[in-house]
Structure 1
Amino acid sequence: MAQIEEFAARPGPLRLSVGSVVARMRALHSGWPAADGVAVFNRVYLAVTEELDRRIDRGDFPDRRAAGTLAVLFAERYLTAVDTVAGGARPPACWRPLFQHRRHPGVRPLQFALAGINAHIGHDLALAVVDTCRTLGCEPPAMEREFDRVGDILTMLEERIREDLMPGPDLLEIADPLTHLLGSWSLERARDGAWSAARLLWRLQEFPELADEFTERLDTGVGLVGRCLLTPWP
């Protein structure tokens, strides 16, 4: 019932701006050890959110309000998961593998980053689109252009992972399973899935029990993928 109420509740005024989201991520970055698995994801996501903030400020988005609202509500779902864990409670199932394995010595930074991206895009992005539509009083088709532009910036996540977290050529043989792992998960497919899920959730608002069931299954399924991504390597 709690999930139904959360899904059905219309969001109130935004608590944060994109700039304040960035500031919050920077504070988390400075407070966590660099090797912490959540810190690895936070570092990558921070860089992308900073770039998104710059592009919104310089007018790269036709509808700056829509883009900023989506960016904030999207980030707030990650930050809420962080706060939930800090408060001693369990986060959504999609985030649990990352928080549970964040200090596992057999998990590589690449895996931590992928698990965070999987949780955030595979689950949070669809719900953030719905949140944004409720906040702005529009339907998902009106958000598609901003969704695509934000998604193009999110592709920087994969680029940054390849640049910062993939081992060098001298470790290629050892890293071969990680190379396979990176190739087995697609950010583009996750984005497409998030858009489809958002459209379906919007239509299910008239059927709260179905909406609740779909949201729970989405959360659980994304969490299962996260556990696979975090399989420890010897």
Structure 2
Amino acid sequence: MIRQADTWEKSGDRRYIFLRCYSMMSTNMVAAIRAGEFKDCEWVATLINHFAAYYFKALTAYERNPAESPAAWRQAHQAAQHQKLHVLQYLLLGVNAHINYDLPLALYDCLCKEWPNLDETQRESRQEDHETVNVIIGKTTDEVQDTVVEPMAPLMAVVDQAMGRIDEWLLSQMISSWRHEVWNVAIRMLDAPEFVIRETIKKEQEQKALEKGEGLLRV
């Protein structure tokens, strides 16, 4: 992640903004796993690696042929390369594609084999680990704002001083809300009795992510 972000930043490719922030989040996630902050650290480690693989798979598809990449990622990549937007728009377009499209698929993949055999307590434990990530996102938001957002948008430093942590709180709350939604999407996929129903849910979620991205572009 860091190597690719460095390459993009040097070439002026604004896709580095999301990837730089994603690398910070990943570093903090690894630290939390090593510190034993989750109920099942091994499962969380598997999930974050699988989740990251979705990002790089979509990137590889886009670089090979944009039409082959998921619509939300195509939207984010094209906006970062060809449109002049605010730094937060570049960031959130990437966050949107990765959370609202990739994450429910990664969750499904990492839960599908074990889910039927988990009791209610074990299922709740998986959800609690998913929600613990929101705490780490909140802690990472300040770092992202200081090192990525403010250097590109100095006015944000003024906003940060005037509002204290309110602006970071609003950002992390939005992301947490998205993550709550996609957990429910993953559960719908797990409960779906047939492949065709899961594919319908997947397509519906892709369209929702695309619509959220369109909303970010209009801000």
Contact 2:72-2:206 at 8 Å conserved across structures: yes
Distance 1:141 1:36, change over 3 A: same
- Structural RMSD (CA): 2.6
Displacement of 1:156 in angstroms is 4.3
Given the alignment of the two structures, is residue 126 of structure 1 paired with residue 104 of structure 2, yes or no? yes
Q: What does 1:37-186 align with in structure 2 at a 5 Å threshold?
A: 37-89=14-66, 90-134=68-112, 137-138=114-115, 140-156=123-139, 158-163=141-146, 164-166=148-150, 167-169=153-155, 186=174
Task: State percent identity of aligned pairs.
Answer: 22
Name the residue aligned to 2:6. Answer: 30
Q: Quick one: which of 159, 171, 175 aligns to 1:187?
A: 175
Measured in 2, the distance between the counterparts of 1:209 and 1:101 equals 32
Structure 2: tracts of 5 or more residues without a match = 160-166
Q: Is the 8 A contact 1:112 1:230 kept in 2?
A: no
Q: 1:220 aligns with which of 207, 211, 216?
A: 207
d(CA) in 1 for partners of 2:28, 2:157: 31
Instruction: Quote the offset at 1:118 in angstroms.
Output: 1.0
Q: More deviation in 33-42 or 45-54?
A: 33-42
Shift of 1:158: 4.1
Separation in structure 1 between the aligned mates of residue 97 and residue 141 of structure 2, nearest angstrom:
14
- The higher relative CO (CA closer than 8 Å, separation ≥ 6) is in 1
- AA paired with 1:27? R
1:196 is aligned to 2:196: no
For 1:195 and 1:201, the matched residues in 2 are separated by 10
Please tell me whether the aligned partners of residues 28 and 140 of structure 2 are also in contact (alpha carbons under 8 angstroms). no
Q: Deviations over 1:151-196 (max 9, x none)?
A: 32233454444433153349979xxxxx8xx87x811210110111
Amino acid at match of 1:60: E
- The Cα of 1:74 is off from its aligned counterpart by 1.2
Runs of 4 or more consecutive aligned structure 1 residues displaced over 4 Å after TM superposition: 169-173
Given that 1:155 and 1:187 are in contact with CA atoms closer than 8 Å, whether structure 2 keeps it comes out as: no
CA–CA distance in structure 1, aligned partners of residues 3 and 156 of structure 2: 35
CA shift in 2, pair 1:215/1:105, >3 Å: closer
Report if aligned partners of 1:113, 1:161 keep a CA contact under 8 Å in 2.
no
User: Which one is further off, 162-171 or 191-200?
Assistant: 162-171
Q: Which runs of 5+ in 1 are unaligned?
A: 1-24, 174-178
The SS at the match of 2:112 is helix
Instruction: Output the TM-score relative to the length of structure 1.
Output: 0.74
Closer, same or farther: CA 67–216 of 1 in aligned 2, 3 Å: same
Which residue of structure 1 aligns with residue 164 of structure 2?
A: none
| Superimposed CA distance per residue, residues 64-96 of structure 1 (whole angstroms, 9 cap, x where no aligned partner) | 111101111111111111111122242111211
**Distance in 2 (alpha carbons) for counterparts of 1:36 and 1:158:** 22
- Tell me how far apart the structure 2 counterparts of residues 170 and 211 of structure 1 sit (CA, whole Å): 41
The answer to whether the 8 A contact 1:67-1:150 is kept is: no
